Each structure stands twice: as structure tokens, then as C-alpha cells.
Structure 1
Amino acid sequence: MKNRYLKIAAALLSTSLLFACSKGADTTDKGSNKEIMDQIASAVSYKKEDDYTDWKNETPTYIELNGTEAEFDQSAAIIVKDKTLTIKTGGVYVLSGKWDDGQIAIDSEDKNTVRLVLNGVEINNTENAAINIVNAEKTIISLQEGTSNRISDGENYHFDDSSSGEPNAAIFSKDDLTINGSGKLIVHANYNNGISSKDDLKITGGAIEVHSTDDGLMGRDLVAIKGGDITVEAGGDGIKSTNDKDSSKGNIALEGGNYDIAAGSDGIHAISSLWITDGSYKVTAGGGSPETVSNRENAPGPWGNNANPETDPNLKPKENLDLNPNSNGEANQENTEVTESTSAKGLKAAAELAVGGGTFAIDSSDDAVHSNRDVTIAGGELTIATGDDGVHADTSLRIKGGKINVTKSYEGIESKEIIISDGEVHIVSSDDGVNVGGGNDGSGFRMPMDAESNGQESSGANSGQLNTAAQENNEQASSEEKMLTINGGYITVNADGDGLDSNGSIEMTGGTVIVNGPTSDGNGPLDYDGSFDMSGGFLIAAGSSGMVQAASEQSAQNSLLMTYPDTQKAGTIVHLEDSEGTTITTFAPKKDYQSVFISSPELSKDASYVLYSGGSSKESEQDGLFKTGKYQDGTKVVEFTISNSVTWLNESGITAGRSAHPGGQGGPGGNAGGQKRPEMGNSGGMFGDLDEETREKVQAIMEQERAGTLTREEAQTQLQELGVEFPGPGGRQ
């Protein structure tokens, strides 16, 4: 009953209304953002003193630094010894001047908060941390308005106890640390980390600039930021949490602020959960995305057939951190000999990653947004360029609002389960646009594994695909458990691989989806292994015809799939109207195409339609889709009547349906979604010029290759014996 009502409601919309949900739309799901805010509220508590910066009425102790000497009230609980100035009790301490090759230490003997006011100070220590909080109930560093404060350390530390490895940051705290105020703090961390707390690190204000050899800002239990202007240039991670012992800790909560992060590793990395509700973010990770993202599908080993790891620094096996999310940045001993490559993701979490608001410009050599478990996008605007996945979740990816613009990627969005209910998503990918694969970057980079491990990699002859046993061990799930669900939103895909690809099934009940590509016959605009239940929304997908699929026959909403005998040039209009001349859709694909799939609530059973090609439209267009009306000068291609849920067409009229996957659940030997596959070439496919006997032999060889009973090299050899060139990528994820 639900599907029936959805279909009736959808039928009330005209094609022109498809534009209403995109440009100018509110990109924040306020209800979902509130859910993220509630999660933060339950995990983070701020006190008044975290925001409070008016210290002058707190009976402060003034400390004037002068090279190697310091002036202060001698009654104050301060000790100066061996170039170290140590504060021994709670209170307010105001620092100004310059401290050469020395340290400001806090070793409080009471339970009161220590407030350290930086009032125009320069502190340098060539042998240890410049500010070292050894013991304090809580420390607050306040940045006085109108001041600039500089903190730096040396490249080598001298430890009294080298086994502890502490301190390891220019500003180091063993206890809770808060930074507030409106002044400026510049940190040059030449030894290791910039600002680090072994408990909570909170920032509520200030202009903070960190240059660090390793990580920029680090909180073991928590990093929480409400405001400020934060610039980080880090050799390691930009912002990081590290507590992998307590599942309730190790979180990062960002509720505001302006961020400019350039990290050699991950931009923002939570060892547990990462929550973002607001702020402005510019994040560059791993040097940014390569100029060109190679299509690494069917690659021997962890790289692609046409990819060269010697010339493309982005091509590397998956790092240990993804396989061992609780490693706290340390190498997994079992995999130490496998790879020492570094994670270089934009936003990363081992558990939940949720974005409810903010603006993001992410440029990363690895995934732009990544979670080892779940990702939720409920709002905000994300502009993404990446050398791997735009948004990746190992378990579940939910898009409830916001705007995601993936301008460059290997795969646009990927997870074992993807649910899109609202928002605007634009994807450009060198492989699949939307991919339901799952696991540890299931169809991205692959990691060479020990032959006895669960992640056993098949030989080069198998073109880098995981062998059957390894897939069973790694995925531990059948294709039925993998699902792409589209309930709403506005989605465009420009893919060199599959447009919408599910290793399980697809369901669509609402929204607008526009797919351009691929142009290679080894991929398809739609690719699924189970079924595709289309009950609402508008979907148009134009691309190659060699592996083409339509929706399943049991779909409640009608659709058609047109295949052309020859490739149509990009920009050649596809126009569909009913027998009375009412426009269903007018679309100009962005890429060359030989097939077009259209599903619309305006398509009715037993009604007649006419499909035109070429011509022009005087209406405005968005993403190749024209508003209804004013189409002219097109050539009639075919006239037909819809009698089934899916109508298969060529220039001669209605033809038999087919499945791109010649197998069970879309694999070898079965029929996906109840569609019957004709012989190759019936609709002008990639082997249309072969005689029937040769086509049958070619089909059998390709089916064996997809099933894994023939290696890629063996299939190539057999095809060459028939005088047929292997048709490009075929063993898809």
C-alpha cells in the first residue's frame, strides 16, 4: 500500500518540478543536525570558565619574562630552577615577555584550576616542551585580546626518563586543557606534536596556528572545539583523538570555528567518533588528490592495469590503520611486513562520522570522508576532490540532507549499505559513482596480504580481484545484505565505471537521479546483482550498452530502456513524450551513449509514447535535464506502447529484455530481476558484428571469467584465438 501511495503522489509531479529540490534548497536537515548536537551534548560538557576570558578581577599573578630571568611576586607559588619556571598551585598567571631556551611547567599541588594568560609572550625550548603541564586538575590557556604569542621547541628532546616518551608536544598536558580568548597563538613543534592533552582538549576561541612535525592538535580522550580560527600544517594528522581503550572516549566534536588544515596524513582523525555541526573547513590530506585519478579496476595486486605506483604517489595499498582501527597510529604487528603506507584521509573516524552542518573543501589523496563503521551526512556543504572514495563507510552510509559535490574521485560514495533520503549529491568518478560493496574499502585500493590470511589476494592472473575464498572470509555477507536505497534527494553521477553499482540490490521510492556514463562496454549505467525495485522517483541513465541493465520486472513504476545501433554523441538530446505530445523528459547526456534508461511516475501502462533523438530545446537546463516544453527539430526514433513494467527498445521497436549479468542474482547463469538476456549484439552491443556461433563462444568465455573459473589472462587468450579483443574492464566490484 505504501508503494501505491508513493506512486500516486509522484505522478502528480511534472518534469519541471525535478529542479525544485536542487539549486537554492536548504542543505541542512535541521532535525538530523539536532540529533548530532544531542550526541555531542551527551559526550561533551563545557563549564563557564571554558569560555571565560576576563581574568583581571581574579587577583592574577603577573610574570614578566626577560630572556633567562623572570620577575613576579615572590610570595607566589612559583619556582624557577634550571631554566624551568614551575607553577605549583591553582590561580591566574599572566605571562608576558620572552623566555629563551626554557620551559613553563605546571605542577599544581591543589585541586584548583590553573589559568595561564598569554599576554604577548615568546617561549622557546630547544630540549623539551615549551609549556609542560605535569599535574593539574585543569589548565586553561587564555589568549589575551590583541596579543600574538609564540611557542616553539627543538628537533630533539632530552628526557630524564626516556621510557615514558613524554612530553611529546610543544604544548603538552597530562590533564584536561582548554584554550580560549581572542588573541593569537603560534606554535612551531619541531620535535613531534603541536598541542597535546592526555585527557580532554577543548578550544572555544582564539587564532591558533600550529606547524608540527607530526600531529597538530591532539586530545587523547576528547577534542572539542566550539570556535576560533585554527590553522594547522602537520606532517602527521591535523586534529586527532587517540584513546582506543574506552569506547566512550576518543571522540572529536566540532561545533564551529574556521579551519585551514594541511596534513601529511589524515586531516581530522577520531579514533572513535567524529561529530561536526558547524564551521568552515579547508582540509588537504596527503598532499591532496592527484591531477588524474586512474581507474584501478581489475588491477593486478593493489594497483590498476594502467596505474603506475612509481609515478602516481596516490597509488598505495590500504594502510594498517584501516585494518586495525584501534591501533592508535601504531603499526599492526601482524601486518608490519605488508605495508607502511600512511593514511591520508580528509575526515576519518573508526566508529561514527556524522556531519550536520558547516562548509567543507576537502582535497585528499585517500578517501575524503571515511569511517570504519557508519557515516551520516545530515547537512552542510561538502566539496570534495580525492584520489580514492569521496565518502566511504565500511558498514552504513546515510545521506539525510546537505550538499555533496565530489568533483574528482575513484569512486564517489561507497558502503555496504547506502540510504539516500534527502540532500543534493553530485559525483564525478573514474570508476563507480555510487557503489554498494562494503568492507575495508571493498572496491578501492587493495592490500597485498599473506596467502594464509583472511584477506588473501588472488594472483596477478586474476587481475587483483580477491579470490572466492577470500571474498567469503572478508565480506561475511551475502549480496542480499547489501542495499542501495534512494528515497529522495537530487543525485547526479558522471562515471567512467558503473553509475549506480550494487553488489546486492537497489530500491528507489523517490528523488531524482541522473546518470552519465560509462562509455566503456565493460561497465554499465546501472549494475546490480540482486534486484532493482523501482517504485517512485525519476531516474534517467545514459551510457554504454554492453553491460546494460534496467529495473526489475516486478517494479511498481514503469520504465524503458532504449539501446541504439551506434554510439550517440554527448549532447545529443533524448526526448520522450506521450502520444498527445506531452513531454515526459528532455535530456542531453554529458557523455557519449548507446543506451538510455528512463523511469518516471508519468509513464503509464497501456499508454503510447514516442522517443526522439537530436533537436534542441529553448527551455533552461540543469545537469542536462531540460524543463518541460519547447522541444523542436528532433528525429523520431521509435513509437511504442507500454505493456510491461520494463519496456526494452531498439530502433525497430520493442525487443526482448536482457540482464547485463549472465548469472544467478545477476551473476553467471541466472537472470537479475527476472530479465532475460538475449544473445550479445541484439541491441547493437559490443559484439554486434559477430556471427551467432562466435557470439555464443565469446559469451561463454566471459561468463567463465566473471564466475572466476577462468583467469583474466586465460580469457584474453581464448578470445584472441577467436579474433576478438577483450572488452576492457569486466570483473567489477
Structure 2
Amino acid sequence: MKLTKARAAVTAALLAATLAGCGVAGAVTGASVDDSSTTTTATATPGASVEAVLAANQESHAEADDGTYDASSAVTVTLSGSSATASGDGVSVKDSTVTITAPGTYVLTGTLAGQVVVDSSVEGKVQLVLDDAHVTSSTGPAVSVTAADEVVVVLADGSTNTLEDGSGYGDGEGEPNAALYSAADLTIAGTGSLTVTGNSNDGIGSQDGLVILSGTVTVTAVDDAVRGKDYVRVEGGILTATAGGDALKSDNAEEGDRGYVVVLGGTVKLTAGDDGIQAATDAAIGGGTTTITAEGDGIHGDVSATVGGGTTTVTKSSEGLEGKVVTVSGGSIDITSSDDAVNATDGSSSGGGMGGGGNSSQDGVSVTISGGTLVVDAEGDGLDSNGSMSITGGTIVVSGPTASGNGALDTNGGLTITGGTLLAAGSSGMAEAPSTDSEQGWVSATFDSGYAEGTVVQVVQDGKVIASFTASKTFSSVVFSSSAITSGETYEIWVDGTPSGTAVGGLTLGGSTDGGSKLGTVTADVHTGGQGGPGH
């Protein structure tokens, strides 16, 4: 067994939260323009809060829209089989197509085997109130907004609504390609329910911004479930999205203040054949309850991935939380991944895989953790940065890989700790510890023989158990850091003791050594070696 200890800690004060009590004030993400060309690129600042990320991006079109409408001035459109009738102006009906041609409020009720089209060249908002409306198209979108200033789909109180499109359409550039399609900014509000089935491509899609404020929305699509080219914002309601491709997606990579996806509230359940959340720029979660099961990445932002609030569970993913700049400033996050759980990379091939910074550090790439609770279970690296990594607060528990080709901690630019609590367990072949210039102390232990799932490993000082970790899988290295580790003092590593207290990812900050055995001791800043006991 080898035991090492770094220098003492002076815990850094956490910066004030700005969103849901868990953002970090500071510089923001935003757009920068290369003077030598017309290309606009998005940039991100390490440690930026969710609020800061939003402030640097395009403002939502639906900031003041709650989906209310004046029923007395609304036009009622009664859907009936392959035709429809309207109680007022602004509506034309031809064969099985209902076309809305002017701003206003239109209440749709009944069943239509056809299509609803919004084609309004007049400035002003179009409100489509779905009040037990069921539209099925065999040739294209069920609802297609081809021209409008802005469209709001309101789900009437107590209503149940369905939209389903045909298949085999929308493959051309710029063509309508979703069961609920909009060429304009689109908002979904109200307290009713909406079920959308996308048989050709996407379920709900907007060529501009897309906001879900409320309602119960269920989307199933062969490709992306919910896509807004400029942005997707989920602010409330219950959203269940099942996608053959990405579940929530924004793909405007040409404009640096767009292409973002943010979840600020509501209950969101995402199942994806590719990524759960995919953003061309920034992916952020600031509130609500989000559950993701993805064959690809759980949360992916090409520029940044930020979690600052809410409860997020990634039950399955390749890489759980990934971006060039990754920030965790609050909330509760639980990630299970078949590769890296948290990964910061610029996408180049110069970065990954070498524990302890074996490859060159990528400029502008970072992981910053300043608050919240982060629990990860990774088959690849637990926390991985192809650049730098900084921990200033929060509680982080890493159940890392069992194979030696990866590590519970893996950075190319080094890990510094100035606050928070970190427990990282995993294989020892690529094991990495924090930098020795970290302000907060840490203890690192590697074992010649692995210890099995269920083993309790403890950090003890003068008979007091500082930390107890119950392993969820085999491990042969452990790193622990907290404000309880003091420079110059001696610590012991024990196994098979008894934990006590509230557990977070198997970690408790207490317990007893009853029934356990001591493996060795270490003094701050002194590296000692020894042989571990037999594998358990």
C-alpha cells in the first residue's frame, strides 16, 4: 500500500449563488467575432453560473408570455373528419387543410385527418388553443407554421390533445420536418396535455426559439424529439421525450449567442438513441427534476455544460456531462456512464486518456466545481479534463473505473482543491491525486490488491473517523479531501469499519473502526509506502 498526503487547506469562500441558490457570480459565456472573417463563435468562462450563461445568450422570446388568452375574442375552429368550420375570420378551409392567415386566437377542437397550417404575413402573435384537438396527417406535419411573427400553442385546461405526422417527408434543407413544426418562435403553455408523434423526423421543431412553459407534453420521434434551432428552454410542466436521435436539441452553431438548451424548471424525462441534451453552444440545467437515459451523452454542450440547480439523474450514458467548459455550481447530480462521467474537451485528439496529465493540456478546457452534490459511477474516467480542473466547494463522490486504463480523476492540466469534499475511488493503474499546490489538504491511498464491492474504507485521525466510504464496486485507490485534513498531522487508513451518518453516494463523514483493520498511516506532505492487505 502507498499512502500520500498533500498540504493543508484554507477553504475558499464560495461565491454568492444567483440562480436557485446555486449559481456562481462571475464572467459569462457569450459571443465573440473574429475580425478577419464573418464567423461568430461562442466562448465560455469557467465557473459561470446558469444565470450568467443565459445572460450571454439570446433572450427568450417568451419572457412575459404565460399562455393566457381572451376566449371572448377567439375564433373557434371545429375539426370534423377531413374538414372543419370556423366561427370567424382568419381561417380558410380547403379539402383537409385548415389554414390560419392572420394573428389572433384560434381555439381548435375535434378531430382532423389532415393538416393545420399557419401562414400569416401580418405582424402579431398567433395563439393556437388546443381544446381536445386531435390532428393526424398522412403526408406531412400535423401542425405546420410556415410563416408567422410568433406562435403560442396553448393546452386548454383539462384538455387532452394529440398531433401525429406522416412519414417519408422533410428530408430537404429548410423543409418542415416535425409533427409540430414552426418556422417562427414557438411557445407551449397551458395546463392541458399534448401527445406528439413524429413518424418522419422530429416531434416538435422550431427554426427559431422553442420554449415550454407548462402543460403535460409527451413526445416520441424517430429522430430528435424536441428541437429549437436557436434555443430550447424548458421552464415548467411535465415533459417526456423519447427520441431515436437527441431528446432535446439546439443546433445553431453559426451564431455564438444561440444554439443553447436550458432546463430551468418542471419535470423532464428524456430517453435518447443519441444524446439526452445536445447543444451547439451551451447546455445548462438550473432547476427542475431531470432524468436522462441516453445511448450517447447525457448532457452535451459543444461550448459549455453547466449545472447550477435542480435534481439531475443520468441513469445511462456514454459520457454523462460533457463540454469544452464544464461547470457544476449547485443542484444534485447523479451520473452513470459507460465512459467518462464528467468530461471537458475541445474535441481534438490531443487530449484524453492519460492520467496525471500524460498528454498536453488543451487551452480553454476546464472543469470547475463550486457547489452542489455530484455523485458519479463511471466505467471510464470519473472526472476528466483535458485541460484544468478546480474544486472550490460542493460534495463530490466518484465511483470510478475498475479497469486500469482509466482513473477516478484524470486531468492534463492538474487538479487544484481549495474547498468542498471529494471522495474518489477506482482503479490504481492511472490513479491521479490533486496538485500539491492545492490549498486544501488531501489523502491518497493506492492498494496492491483490490477491495471488493461493499468494502468500507475509512480515513481516521486520533481514533476519530473523518470519512467512511462504502464501495459500490471493486477499487484499488482512494483520494479524500476536505477541510478536516490539516497539514502536518497524521492520518490512518482503515478498512471494514462501520460507517455512520447520512450517506451521499456511499460517503459518510463519521463512523467507527469497530471490526475494522488499519492498513497504514501517513503524515502531511510525507510520502510513505507499504503493502496492502489481501484483496477483499
TM-score (norm. length: structure 1): 0.57
Q: Pick from 179, 194, 198: which aligns with 2:153?
A: 179
2:474 aligned partner: 592
Greater Cα shift, 357-366 or 62-71? 62-71
Paired letter, 1:173 = T
- 8 Å contact from structure 1 (residues 115, 141) kept in 2: yes
- For 1:588, give the aligned amino acid: T
Say which structure is richer in strand.
2
CA displacement at 1:371 relative to structure 2: 1.5
- When residues 551 and 403 of structure 1 are mapped into structure 2, their CA distance, relative to the original with a 3 A threshold, is closer
| Deviations 1:143-177, CA, capped at 9 Å, x for gaps | 34xxx21212224x7xxxxxxxxxx5543331132
Matched, 1:528 2:448: no
Which residue, out of 66, 69, 72, partners 1:53?
A: 69
Change beyond 3 A, Cα 1:443–1:385? farther
Deviation at 1:189?
A: 0.8
- Find the aligned partners of 2:137 and 2:443 in 1 and give their Cα distance: 67
Q: Distance in 1 between matches of 2:282 and 2:231?
A: 9
CA distance in 1, matches of 2:476, 2:85: 81
d(CA) in 1 for partners of 2:418 and 2:68? 55
Shift of 1:639: 4.1
Q: In structure 1, how many angstroms separate the alpha carbons of the residues matched to 2:83 and 2:429?
A: 79
Alignment map for 1:234-273 (pairs within 5 Å) = 234-242=221-229, 250-271=230-251, 272-273=259-260
Closer, same or farther in 2 for the Cα pair 1:347/1:131, shift >3 Å?
same
**Cα distance in 2 for residues equivalent to 1:398 and 1:384:** 16
8 Å Cα contact 1:33/1:357 also seen in 2 = no
CA contact (8 A) 1:225 1:255 kept: yes
Distance in 2 (CA, whole Å) between partners of 1:526 and 1:70 is: 62
Match of 2:333 in 1: 404
Of 378, 388, 401, the match for 1:518:
401
For residues 303 and 419 of structure 2, the distance between their equivalents in structure 1, rounded to whole angstroms, comes to: 29
| Among 346, 367, 387, the residue aligned to 1:438 | 346
Secondary structure of 2:9's partner?
A: helix
Q: Hey, what does 1:377 align to over in structure 2?
A: 307
> Residue in 2 aligned with 1:104?
98
More helix by share: 1
Distance change >3 Å, CA 505–CA 614, structure 1 → 2: same
2:378 matched to which residue of 1? 495
CA distance in 2, matches of 1:499, 1:47: 41
Q: 1:197 to 1:483 in 2, by over 3 A?
A: closer
**Counterpart in the other structure of 1:42:** 59
1:670-728 Cα offsets, whole Å, 9 max, x none, are xxxxxxxxxxxxx999xxxxxxxxxxxxxxxxxxxxxxxxxxxxxxxxxxxxxxxxxxx
Please give the alpha-carbon distance, in whole angstroms, between the structure 1 residues aligned to 2:403 and 2:81.
Answer: 69
Pairwise CA RMSD: 3.9
| Alignment correspondent of 2:216 | 229
User: Do structure 1's residue 353 and structure 2's residue 337 form an aligned pair?
Assistant: no
Structure 2 counterpart SS, 1:43:
coil
Larger radius of gyration: 1
CA contact (8 A) 1:497 1:517 kept: yes
1:197-236 matches, within 5 Å, as 197-205=182-190, 206-213=192-199, 214-236=201-223
Q: Which residue in 2 is equivalent to 1:453?
A: none
Cα distance in structure 1, aligned partners of 2:61 and 2:287: 18
Any residues of structure 2 matched to 1:70-85 within 5 Å, and which?
84-85=93-94
CA distance in 1, matches of 2:412, 2:107: 62
Over 3 Å counting, the alpha-carbon distance change for 1:619 and 1:534 in structure 2 is closer
Residues 481 and 41 (structure 1 numbering): CA distance in 2 closer, same or farther, change over 3 Å?
closer
Match for residue 573 of structure 1 among 444, 456, 472:
456
Match of 2:9 in 1: 7
Decide whether the 8 Å contact of 1:563 with 1:649 is kept in 2. no
Trace 1:111-130 onto structure 2 (pairs within 5 A): 113-118=103-108, 120-125=109-114, 129-130=115-116
Deviates more, 1:276-285 or 1:483-492: 483-492
SS in structure 2 at match of 1:203: strand
Q: Is the 8 A contact 1:541 1:598 kept in 2?
A: yes
SS of 1:51's partner is coil
Q: Distance in 2 between matches of 1:71 and 1:564?
A: 77
Shift of residue 346, structure 1, vs aligned partner: 1.6
Matched, 1:29 2:9: no
SS of equivalent to 2:527: strand
Query: Aligned partners of 1:207, 1:189: CA distance in 2, in Å?
Result: 18
CA distance in 1, matches of 2:400, 2:86: 72
Contact 2:69 2:105 in 1 (8 A): no
Q: Is the alpha carbon distance of 1:184 and 1:256 closer, same or farther for their aligned partners in structure 2, counting shifts above 3 Å? A: same
**Structure 2 match to 1:298:** none
1:54 maps to amino acid? D
The higher relative CO (CA closer than 8 Å, separation ≥ 6) is in 2
Matches within 5 A, 1:675-714: none
* Structure 2 CA distance for aligned equivalents of residues 352 and 53 of structure 1: 33
Separation of aligned partners in 2, 1:124 and 1:441 = 51
Counterpart CA distance in 2 for 1:381 and 1:178 is 28
Deviation (angstroms), 1:380: 1.5
Which letter maps to 1:275?
V
Confirm whether residue 285 of structure 1 aligns to residue 285 of structure 2. no
Amino acid at match of 1:630: S
Q: Residues 646-685 of structure 1 correspond to what in structure 2 (within 5 A)?
A: 647-651=527-531
Instruction: Say if 1:212 and 1:27 are closer, same or farther in 2 by CA, change over 3 A.
Output: same
Aligned to 1:625: 507
Contact 1:618 1:631 survives alignment (8 Å) = no
- Check if 1:635 corresponds to 2:512: no
Please report how far the alpha carbon of residue 481 of structure 1 lies from its aligned counterpart in structure 2 after TM superposition: 4.7
Unaligned runs of 5+ in 1: 1-5, 12-25, 86-100, 158-167, 243-249, 287-343, 416-436, 445-464, 467-474, 653-682, 686-733
Aligned to 2:119: 133
Residues of 2 paired with 1:172 and 1:550: CA distance?
55
Alignment check: 8 A CA contact 1:524 1:546 kept: yes
Kindly state the Cα deviation for residue 207 of structure 1 after the two structures are TM-superposed: 2.1
Once residues 64 and 131 of structure 1 are traced to their aligned partners in structure 2, the CA distance between those partners, rounded to angstroms, is 15
**In the alignment, what sits opposite 1:16?**
none
Q: Which letter does structure 1 place at the counterpart of 2:378?
A: A
TM superposition shift of 1:201: 1.4
Contact 1:380–1:403, Cα closer than 8 Å, also in 2? yes
Match of 1:154 in 2: 138
Give the whole-Å Cα distance in 1 for the aligned partners of 2:315 and 2:503. Answer: 25
Is the contact between residue 517 and residue 592 of structure 1 (CA under 8 Å) also seen in structure 2? no
